[in-house]
Structure 1
């Protein structure tokens, strides 16, 4: 007999591709995807759009029943981490898509026990071992289109970082 694992899925579509979010191991999870206001960026930086994905937990997460959040894009990317941040860049000839979430140390300071993010070719995942009911976890995405330097530009990285709630 197999046991059905609770799960939730959401898709966020940007001009540079699709971002899929898959949450397993927890019941009562809702995922909201919304366009977000572009945060104030350092002078000379610009992005074309920002999305914020909110994963809300209706029930407590425990070590006996952990939850996994997995974010994937429809292209290969590479990790670009920062202080309190786990992030991946997906660059192609059309521009750059940056996807980010808070790291395990940032989450721990806010009462959420998590493993370090695990990177894959097309995304990343994080296991949450403990979180109180009512917790909101966020994934952000920012993009810059049609810029000759978009592949090496850090504007999308800054925007994805600054879009995440503090």
Structure 2
């Protein structure tokens, strides 16, 4: 995505619109409403990933699925591939702290992303990044991947949304 489209003060509505509310717990919740250009970019991204897969390459894709249509699109495009679905989580409080520490994130972006990404998801395994050091997370991811030789979440999602 062009850098200007990551700047919420300059983003064109064809990419996305957004709003933010403060919830009862005092934390912000940021919501993105994708526009047609972002939808098109995600569709093209999935096809690019599929091209790598079709050429025998393995891909690790970090996805934030802001809307169900993106998930359904991915389910269609990656049909026939072996796909591991991994849920990556962080507590709302730690996510808010990280946003503030980075300095380039709007409050509530993490919280909104998490709610959108996990809304329809099913996973082969999940990781909580709240308090675990990166090296331990990497080992845990590797160990869980090796233990899950036959992923099933993608097929469950495919059956749920496309059958």
Same fold (TM over 0.5): no
When you count helix as a share of all residues, which structure comes out higher?
Answer: 2
When you count strand as a share of all residues, which structure comes out higher?
Answer: 1
Relative CO higher for 1 or 2, CA cutoff 8 Å, sep ≥ 6? Answer: 1
Greater radius of gyration (CA): 2
TM-score range for the pair, normalised by the shorter chain length: under 0.3
Normalising by structure 1, we get a TM-score of: 0.25
